[in-house]
């Protein structure tokens, strides 16, 4: 980061001045990008940071000339090595795309074509800019894969995207972006969809490649810590404008603009664990939530409450009649099964917050679903206060209302055709916690408790933002008067400032209602902030479990160590 | 893959068996062919003799099992009207229908899919709007009316196309085909166009919907960001991705057209299966009806099997047993 000075003197690679991209809608123009200016030196890495809707991705697409209709660039200029890109005819722009400027997208699952082999997709990208024989293309493809550290590229070149893991797919996408040795790569949240350890690998490799090839990068991200680990300079965007731009270290340790400061303050990694996070826009904290008279026989705080004993979950494909006959007679192999959770015992004490951390596929969500009585364990028991959570028999059902769940995606977990009031009241009415005449007031109390206007009860989910929807989901779960709430990545799809609001809400509600929480997350800093105890899951087993502070300070298991080492850390101002 | 095919064939056998029982019972309920076969003034003795000759005095289940037994020997019975083996009768008509429907469905796909993709690629252009208007028309215009209009305009007014019949045919592998002669082709054009109209509109709409959705996808954005030309994006990426629903509809349409090209065949006096089945229904020609309907069931099964195998070819995610 000390090499920012020399760049300032060389001619800029990219010069963006007063760029404005608007999207016409029924109710006038949305100014997605509204007067953005910055320049980029050859080989420089610029981090473009902002929350969703800030226009950071649209800025990237405007530079490369891929704005979806009916959006259009209203004014401004984008100069690449002195040549104006805006207004270039389509074929000239196309000749630049992939050759001089290329792009890597967020979700490698969505960007690669699932029905074409990796080799074919690389060949198409090669043919876009040079004439090349099939044999040459294959050779180049193998080299490109080797460059992004894909092992055994001679064989992998014939693979299809689904045969790769998420990290591998993103490597392939990066390989395609690097094919023609571009001078600039625009990376739009390239590691957001990946696990922490994969993200760390990709970051490290990207840094190396960029340094080696002298490629400039625009790294678009919502995650300040990631940006700080790769960028020379950082630009912070808000509602279509750059509010602050400067050397990474300076912006992140001594922010000048209020918004940058607010973004940084909202990060759990910068606050003391358990404390409320600072928020920029103050949504008034709500009235204390109404608590129905709890059942009398609750154990005291701190005693074992939800006990998971040797829980196992196997997923297998159901075998047809012929297949079962064939397996019985030894002709066919038994159906392969996936052991998602492999004999896990876990105790949640009353009133504590237990963090369940692991990468995708570690079985943490499956374990959470078993704890919440949604998924039936293949073996083992889940008991709440000594009582089983699910009924016995062939097709067990959940028999308690005292465990509730908050899901990751508030867009998918709320029924879009029901009014908010009905969504929240549905469960309590079905279980006779309230009468129909009380329901209105009950819902209003809960909406207020999660910081929403009670008048929202008549609206539909699509009228709300992601953070508001997650509040509704929390109100719905808590309206069932649970003692235990399983939170399955409740903040993973939210912006930092919204995430801070939800975390604060959970901290507050937990202490006011004596809730016990199982908090499932892949985000170690959020878990550290919120949880008393942490269990690390890896391949269906819990590899390490302990007090949050102790576990973070002195991890014992190799996997935990690797996980903690992979977390990108923000630079702190020396005080 | 092998296990999959075996499983499907096993299912097919069950379906054909069930179909035969259903069809046999259904046709039994429709009416007594004897009333059509013998003149009303025949004596009671002759009636009884004819009934016994065709086995119609037996209870239904016995007639059915006798029929199934004969089918296993490859004998579908004799047509009551044409007095020839049913299998021979159907086989003599099948090529004509096959030729007509394949021409129609292939034309509909080869023209409809590119046009539909264009309409999806530029959804707001006037050309695309015109294409969509035509496709709506294609859905709503009745087949018989469009057929009559074709005959009126091209055969009657301009006299450039024949109004009906199959024209000159050439024998290939012992089967008569008309698409190999100029005259035969001329006879094929109008009925094929008529039959294609609906499928054509369907393909346009499907291709357009798929293309429109995909043009906004990250896959297309990524391909464009790599500098691929619009034509390559459409022909290599989009076409492959929309092909699965297209193949599904192609298969279904091919089956239903083969089975029910009745209207077009009647209007253009095309000597295919559709005309045969209509004739045999009006004359209560039981063996032909039963054999024909079983053939239709079999056709659908085979087409669906081929469609499923094509899925695996088109989408690597559906291929099993690969690392």
Task: Catalogue all structural domains in chain B, each as residue range(s) with its CATH number.
Answer: 95-282 (1.10.3720.10)
Contact flag A111-B240 (C-beta cutoff 8 Å): no
Name chain B contacts of A117, Cβ cutoff 8 Å: 316
Q: Are the beta carbons of B227 and A173 separated by less than 8 Å?
A: no
Interface probe, candidates A109, A115, A189, chain B, greatest B C-beta count within 10 A: A115
DSSP three-state, residue A50: coil
**What percent of chain A stands above pLDDT 70?**
91
Check residue A332 and give its pLDDT: 62
- Contact of A236 with A257, CB cutoff 8 Å: yes
Nearest to B209 by CA among B323, B131, B126, B280: B131
As a whole number, mean pLDDT of residues A410-420 equals: 86
What does pLDDT average to over chain B? 83
B223 at the A interface (CB within 8 A)? yes
Task: Give A172-228 as a 3 state SS string.
Answer: HHHHHHHCCCCCEEEEECCCCCCCHHHHHHHHHHHHHHHHHHCCEEEEEECCHHHHH
Distance of CA B263 to the CA centre of its chain: 13
Does residue A125 belong to the interface with chain B, where contact is any CB pair within 8 Å? yes
Rounded to 10 degrees, what is the CA torsion of A374, A380, A383, A387? 100
Cβ pair B10:A115 closer than 8 A: no
* Whole-angstrom distance, CA of residue B205 vs CA of residue B117: 9
Residue A334, pLDDT score: 62
Q: How far is B220 from chain A (nearest CA, A)?
A: 8
What is the C-alpha separation between A179 and A123, in angstroms, rounded?
10
- Count of CB pairs separated by less than 8 Å, A with B: 96
Are B76 and B85 in contact by the 8 Å Cβ rule? The answer is: yes
Q: Per the structure block, which two tokens stand in for A36?
A: 């953005």
- Return the DSSP state at A242: E
Torsion of CA B187, B190, B195, B198, to 10 degrees: 160
Residues above pLDDT 90, as percent of chain B: 14
Mean predicted confidence (pLDDT) in A354-373 = 88
CB A305 within 8 A of CB A350: yes
Residue A521 phi/psi, 5° resolution?
Answer: -160, 155
Mean pLDDT, residues A35-43: 91
Q: Which residue has the higher pLDDT, A3 or A432?
A: A432
Residue A431, SS3?
A: coil
Say whether pLDDT at A241 is over 60.
yes
Most confident of A10-24, A328-342, B274-288: A10-24
The dihedrals phi and psi of A20, each to the nearest 5 degrees, come to: -135, 120
**B232–A124: do the CB atoms touch at under 8 Å?**
yes
Give pLDDT, residue A295.
55
pLDDT at A322: 61
CA distances from A493 to A412, A476, A530 (A): 11, 19, 17
User: CB A163 to CB B240 under 8 A?
Assistant: no
Considering only CB atoms, which chain B residues are within 8 Å of A173?
Answer: 222
Handedness of CA B313, B316, B320, B323 (dihedral sign): positive
> What pairs with residue A20 in β-bridges?
A34, A75
Burial status of residue A274 (CB atoms within 10 A of its CB: 0-12, 13-18, 19 or more) = middle
The answer to whether residue A333 neighbours chain B at the CB level (below 8 Å) is: no
pLDDT at A281: 47
Secondary structure (3-state) at A96: helix
Contacts of A323 in chain B (CB under 8 A): 3
Contacts of residue B177, defined as CB under 8 A and 6 or more positions apart, other chains included, come to B95, B99, B169, B170, B171, B184
| Residue B282 in tokens | 């009006």
Q: Identify which has the larger pLDDT, B127 or A109.
A: B127
CA atoms within 13 A on the CB side of A27: 0
B104's tokens: 């129609």
Q: Which of A515, A536, A523 is nearest to A568 (CA)?
A: A523
Which residues in chain B are contacts of A176 at CB distance < 8 A? 222, 226
Query: A95 in contact with B at a CB cutoff of 8 Å?
Result: yes
Asked whether residue A289 carries a pLDDT value surpassing 80, the answer given is no
**Is B93 a residue whose pLDDT tops 60?**
yes
In the three-class reduction of DSSP (H, G, I as helix; E, B as strand; rest coil), residue A14 is classed as strand
Which of A97, A99, A162 is closest, CB to CB, to B224?
Answer: A97
Q: How far is A115 from chain B (nearest CA, A)?
A: 5
pLDDT at res. A450: 83
Contact A361, A165 (CB under 8 A): no
- The candidate with the shortest Cα–Cα distance to B195, out of B147, B136, B132, B246, is B147
Closest CB to B217 among A110, A320, A323: A110
B241 touches A at CB < 8 Å: yes
Q: How many C-beta atoms surround the C-beta of residue A14 within 10 A?
A: 23
Q: Which two tokens stand for residue A336?
A: 């392969």
Mean pLDDT of A437-454: 87
pLDDT > 90: percent of chain A: 27
CA-based max dimension of chain A? 79
Q: DSSP labels for A513-570?
A: HT-EEEEEES-HHHHHHH-SEEEEEETTEEEEEEEHHHHHHS--SHHHHHHHHHS---
Residues A373-394 have a mean pLDDT of: 85
Q: Do B237 and A103 make contact, defined as CB atoms within 8 angstroms?
A: no
Q: Which of residues 72 through 131 in chain B touch A, CB cutoff 8 A? A: 124
pLDDT at residue A376 greater than cutoff 80: yes
Give me the pLDDT at residue A270, please: 76
Torsion over CA of A158, B239, B237 and B241, rounded to 10 degrees? -70
Q: Does A68 touch chain B (CB under 8 A)?
A: yes
- Domains, chain A, with CATH or none: 14-100+183-265 (3.40.50.300), 111-179 (no CATH), 304-402+481-566 (3.40.50.300)
Range with the largest mean pLDDT of A169-173, A294-298, B253-257? A169-173
Within 8 A of B217 by CB-CB distance, chain A residues are: 110
Cβ neighbours around A72 below 10 Å, total: 13
Check: complex ipTM more than 0.95: no
Mean confidence (pLDDT) of chain A = 85
**Cβ separation A105–B221 shorter than 8 A:** yes
A120-124, A249-253, A333-337, B101-105: range with lowest mean pLDDT: A333-337
Chain-chain contact of A98 with B237 (C-beta, under 8 angstroms): no
How open is the CA angle A152-A155-A156, to the nearest 5 degrees?
A: 80
Contact A112 B225 (CB under 8 A): no
* Chain B residues closer than 8 Å to A118 by CB: none
Comparing alpha-carbon positions, the chain A residue that sits nearest to B233 is: A124
pLDDT, mean of residues A245-274? 85
Q: Quick one: tokens of B198?
A: 């609906």
For the cut 80, the answer to whether the pLDDT of residue A520 exceeds it is yes
Report the alpha-carbon distance of residue A182 to residue A474 in Å, rounded.
47
Average pLDDT estimate for B172-180: 71
**Is the Cα torsion angle A241, A243, A248, A252 positive or negative in sign?**
negative
Chain B residues in contact with A184 by the CB 8 A cut-off are: none
Take residue A132 and report the two structure tokens written for it: 């090349």
Query: A98: nearest CA in chain B?
Result: B226
pLDDT above 70 for B44:
yes
Q: Is a pLDDT exceeding 90 seen at residue B1?
A: no
CB contact under 8 A, A113 and B237: yes
Query: What number is the average pLDDT over the span B287-312?
Result: 84
| pLDDT: which is higher, B179 or A49 | A49
- Distance in Å, alpha carbon of B64 to nearest chain A alpha carbon: 29
Instruction: Please state the φ and ψ torsions of residue B91, each to the nearest 5 degrees.
Output: -65, -30
pLDDT score of A320 more than 70: no
Contact assessment for residue A54 and residue A262, using Cβ atoms and an 8 Å cutoff: no
Q: Is B236 on the interface with A (CB under 8 A)?
A: yes
Chain B residue numbers with beta carbons less than 8 Å from the beta carbon of A106 are 218
CB A60 within 8 A of CB A33: no
Q: Does A162 touch chain B (CB under 8 A)?
A: yes
Which of the two residues, A515 and A269, has the higher pLDDT score?
A: A515
pLDDT 10s digits, A525-544: 889 889 999 999 998 899 99
Smallest Cα distance from B113 to chain A, Å: 19
pLDDT of residue B204: 92
| Residue at token pair 């619009």 | B230
Residue A98 contacts B where some CB pair is shorter than 8 Å: yes
- Going by C-alpha positions, the residue among A229, A484, A551, A543 that lies closest to residue A359 is A543
Of A459, A453, A460, A454, the closest CA to residue A440 belongs to A454
Report pLDDT for A573. 57
Q: Which residues of B touch A129 (CB under 8 A)?
A: 227
Query: Does the pLDDT of residue A468 top 90, yes or no?
Result: no
Q: Say what the pLDDT of residue A325 is.
A: 66
Rounded to a whole number of angstroms, the distance from the CA of A231 to the nearest CA of chain B is: 22
Straight-line distance from the first to the last Cα atom of chain A, in angstroms, rounded to the nearest whole number: 20
The predicted structure's pLDDT at residue A317: 67
Nearest to B230 by CA among A128, A485, A329, A84: A128
Asked whether residue A2 carries a pLDDT value surpassing 50, the answer given is no
Contacts of residue A164, Cβ cutoff 8 Å, sequence gap at least 6 = A118, A156, A172
């Amino acid at each position: 980061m000390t090499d920012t000075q020399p760049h300032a003197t060389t001619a800029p690679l990219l010069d963006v001045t007063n760029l404005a991209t608007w999207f016409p809608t029924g109710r006038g123009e949305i100014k997605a990008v509204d007067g953005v200016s910055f320049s980029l030196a050859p080989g420089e890495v610029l981090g473009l940071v902002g929350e969703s809707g800030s226009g950071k991705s649209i800025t990237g697409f405007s530079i490369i000339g891929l704005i979806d209709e009916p959006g259009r660039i209203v004014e401004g200029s984008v100069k690449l090595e002195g040549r104006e890109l805006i207004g270039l005819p389509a074929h000239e722009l196309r000749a630049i795309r992939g050759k001089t400027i290329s792009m890597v997208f967020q979700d490698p699952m969505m960007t690669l074509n699932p029905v074409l082999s990796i080799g074919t997709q690389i060949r198409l990208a090669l043919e876009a800019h040079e004439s090349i024989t099939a044999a040459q293309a294959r050779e180049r493809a193998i080299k490109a894969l080797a460059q992004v550290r894909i092992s055994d590229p001679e064989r992998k070149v014939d693979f299809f995207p689904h045969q790769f893991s998420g990290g591998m797919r993103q490597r392939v996408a990066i390989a395609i972006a690097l094919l023609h040795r571009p001078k600039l790569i625009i990376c739009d949240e390239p590691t957001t969809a990946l696990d922490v350890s994969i993200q760390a690998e990709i970051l490290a490799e990207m840094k190396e490649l960029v340094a080696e090839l002298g490629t400039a990068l625009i790294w678009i991200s919502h995650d300040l810590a990631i940006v700080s680990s790769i960028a020379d300079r950082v630009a912070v965007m808000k509602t279509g404008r750059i509010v602050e731009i400067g050397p990474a270290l300076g912006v992140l340790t001594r922010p000048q603009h209020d918004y940058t400061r607010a973004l940084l303050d909202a990060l759990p990694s910068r606050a003391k664990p358990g404390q409320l996070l600072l928020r920029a826009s103050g949504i008034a904290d709500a009235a204390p939530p109404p608590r129905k008279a709890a059942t009398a026989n609750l154990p005291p705080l701190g005693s074992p409450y939800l006990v998971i004993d040797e829980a196992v979950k196997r997923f297998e494909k159901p075998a047809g009649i012929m297949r079962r006959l064939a397996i019985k007679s030894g002709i066919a192999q038994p159906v392969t099964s996936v052991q998602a959770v492999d004999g896990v015992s876990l105790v949640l004490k009353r009133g504590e917050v237990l963090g369940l951390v692991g990468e995708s596929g570690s079985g943490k969500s499956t374990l959470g679903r078993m704890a919440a009585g949604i998924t039936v364990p293949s073996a083992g028991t889940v008991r709440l206060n000594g009582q089983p959570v699910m009924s016995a028999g062939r097709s067990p059902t959940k028999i308690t209302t005292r465990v509730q769940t908050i899901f990751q995606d508030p867009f998918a977990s709320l029924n879009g055709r029901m009014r908010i009031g009905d969504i929240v009241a549905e469960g309590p009415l079905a279980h006779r916690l309230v009468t129909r005449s009380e329901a209105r007031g009950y819902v209003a109390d809960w909406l207020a408790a999660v910081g929403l206007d009670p008048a929202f009860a008549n609206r539909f989910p699509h009228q709300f933002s992601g953070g508001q929807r997650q509040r509704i989901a929390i109100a719905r779960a808590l309206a069932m008067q649970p003692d235990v709430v399983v939170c399955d990545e409740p903040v993973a799809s939210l912006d930092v400032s919204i995430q801070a609001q939800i975390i604060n809400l959970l901290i507050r509600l937990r202490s006011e209602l004596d809730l016990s929480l199982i908090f499932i997350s892949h985000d170690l800093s959020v878990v550290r902030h919120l949880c008393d105890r942490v269990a690390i899951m890896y391949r269906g087993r819990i590899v390490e479990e302990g007090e949050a502070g102790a576990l973070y300070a002195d991890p014992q298991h190799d996997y935990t160590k690797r996980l903690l080492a992979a977390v990108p850390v923000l630079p702190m101002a020396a005080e | 893959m092998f296990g999959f095919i075996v499983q499907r064939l096993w299912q097919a056998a069950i379906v054909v068996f069930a179909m035969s029982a259903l069809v046999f019972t259904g046709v039994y309920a429709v009416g007594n062919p004897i009333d059509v076969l013998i003149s009303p003034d025949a004596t009671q003795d002759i009636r009884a003799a004819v009934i016994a000759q065709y086995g119609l005095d037996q209870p239904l289940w016995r007639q059915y099992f006798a029929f199934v037994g004969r089918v296993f020997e490859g004998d579908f019975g004799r047509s009551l009207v044409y007095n020839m083996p049913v299998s021979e009768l159907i086989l003599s008509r099948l090529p004509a229908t096959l030729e007509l429907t394949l021409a129609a469905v292939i034309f509909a796909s080869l023209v409809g899919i590119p046009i539909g993709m264009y309409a999806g690629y530029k959804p707001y252009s006037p050309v695309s709007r015109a294409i969509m208007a035509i496709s709506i028309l294609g859905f709503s215009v009745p087949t018989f009316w469009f057929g009559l209009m074709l005959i009126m305009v091209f055969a009657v007014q301009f006299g450039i196309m024949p109004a009906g019949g199959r024209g000159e045919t050439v024998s290939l592998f012992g089967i008569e085909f008309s698409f190999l002669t100029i005259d035969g082709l001329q006879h094929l054009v109008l009925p094929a166009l008529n039959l294609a109209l609906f499928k054509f509109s369907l393909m346009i709409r499907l291709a357009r919907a798929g293309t429109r959705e995909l043009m906004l996808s990250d896959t297309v954005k990524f391909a464009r960001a790599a500098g691929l030309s619009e034509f390559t994006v459409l022909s290599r990426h989009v076409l492959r991705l929309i092909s699965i629903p297209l193949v599904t509809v192609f298969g279904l349409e091919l089956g239903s057209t083969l089975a029910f090209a009745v209207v077009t065949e009647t209007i253009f006096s095309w000597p295919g299966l559709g005309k045969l089945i209509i004739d045999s229904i009006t004359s209560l020609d039981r063996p032909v009806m039963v054999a024909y309907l079983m053939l239709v069931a079999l056709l659908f099964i085979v087409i669906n099997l081929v469609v499923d195998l094509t899925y695996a070819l088109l989408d690597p995610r559906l291929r099993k047993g690969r690392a």
